[in-house]
Amino acid sequence: MKRLFVALAVLGVLCAAVLAACNLWMVHSTNPAIYTLDNAENLEADCILVLGCGLRRDGYPSQMLCDRLDVAIEAYRMGLAPKLLMSGDHGRVEYDEVNAMKDYAMAMGVPSEDIFMDHAGFSTYESMYRAKEIFRCERIIAVTQTYHLHRAIANARAMGMHAVGIASDQRTYARQWYFDLREAAARVKDTVYGLAKPQPTCLGKAIPIFGNGDVTNDR
């Protein structure tokens, strides 16, 4: 029993060390690439990539997602990139983040042809993999909340893209403690994924981001 306790203790220390190392590396290496709208005027990219994060029961974007979209739309209006790439979960007919995101942007005056949809952005890693391989992006501006932006930028860089981010923190979010805990574990997972580069759930033919976004329409 004593040996088992010691072994478990050592394993726990090792796991904690790996968790801390991955988090410290990811945050430290991406901090200089995180901007706000106030200091982002000189950024330039192929597209502004918005990461999905849930819908309300009525199918409208969640508050956190609305904040991401508002910041991304403003960055588009500032001329930082000519296209928006909405990447989210559309794995089921009854759950469709990306069309809800596109509808929101169009209601704010963004032309349909400037909005691409990635219907298979089931995770941050998969969104970045597909941005590179499917949409042929080389330079992106990722938009999400700061706690998530470190991992988004790290994933994009692992795919060989030049990536910066604009933080979309517009308020204090409920259950932020939960998001922070989940994110700490996800950084370890995506550190491994960035090294191993497993294929995402879905791939397909190339849809270059420089074309017409309406080619990604499915309705």
3-state secondary structure 60-71: CECHHHHHHHHH
Q: Which two tokens stand for residue 134?
A: 């499917």
Three-state secondary structure call for residue 105: helix
CA trace torsion 64, 127, 214, 139 (10° rounding): 100
Q: How many domains does the chain have?
A: 1
- Parts of the chain with a pLDDT under 70: 5-6, 10
Give which of 149, 169, 130, 196 is closest to 29, Cα–Cα.
149
Per the structure, the complete domain to which residue 114 belongs is given by 2-216
| CA atoms of 125 and 200, how far apart (whole Å) | 8
Specify the amino acid at residue 94: E
Residue 159: CATH number of its domain: 3.40.50.620
Contact 38, 76 (CB under 8 A): no
DSSP 8-class letter at 153: H
Residue 82 CA to residue 84 CA, distance in Å, equals 7
**Token duo for residue 162:** 């030049």
Q: Which residues contact 104 (CB under 8 A, 6 or more apart)?
A: 61, 66, 69
For the purposes of burial, counting CB atoms within 10 Å of the CB of 169, is it exposed (0-12), middle (13-18) or buried (19 or more)? Answer: middle
pLDDT score of 6? 66
Residue of 55, 41, 143 whose CA lies nearest to 92: 55
